[in-house]
Amino acid sequence: MSSKQQFLKNLYEAFNKREIETIISLMHPDVKWANGMEGGFVYGRDAVREYWRKQFEIIQGQLELLEYETDENNRSIVTVRLVVRDLEGNLLLEKTVQHIFTIENDLISLFEIGDTEPVQKMIQKLKTSNEQ
């Protein structure tokens, strides 16, 4: 396992344990982080911390690292299984997505999510289709 793969494995383990400060310490102070809930990006460590605080107040997300690769721009592409539950533990969403990391000087400078809708839209679509 390469050092970048181990770095990302540790990152996902920390996320699943809600060790937010551990993850924040792995980011560049001016990180650009994809907002998987609403779309767009948040900028900087404090904004990422606040984004996760709000997210964890309404859902429980778990990520399972499935595959790792490096693209031609030396970005780390991680395929993950995303499982989202409400706070009572009811399954809201299960989906495979790609996370794209730009890592510079051993810190994440950019986090992107591959071609997918924001989680809130996906959950709303599922609720709407289940109600019909």
Go through the domains of the chain in sequence order and give each one's CATH number: 3-131 (3.10.450.50)
**Residue 23: which of 71, 59, 68, 55 has the closest Cα?**
55
CA atoms within 13 A of residue 131's CA, in its CB half-sphere:
6
Q: What is the pLDDT of residue 37?
A: 86
pLDDT in tens, 96-115: 999 999 999 999 999 999 97
* pLDDT lower than 70: segments of the chain: 116-132
Q: What is the pLDDT of residue 120?
A: 60
**Token code pair at residue 17:** 């344990």
Contacts with 31 (C-beta within 8 Å, 6 or more apart), sequence order: 43, 44, 45, 48, 107, 108, 109, 110, 111
Q: What is the pLDDT of residue 124?
A: 67
Contacts with 30 (C-beta within 8 Å, 6 or more apart), sequence order: 43, 44, 109
Q: What is the pLDDT of residue 117?
A: 58
Beta-strand relationship, 60-70 and 76-85: antiparallel
Predicted TM-score of the model (pTM): 0.85
Q: What is the pLDDT of residue 1?
A: 72
Query: What gap in Å lies between CA 105 and CA 113, rounded to an integer?
Result: 21
What sign for the dihedral angle of Cα 111, 107, 56, 80? positive
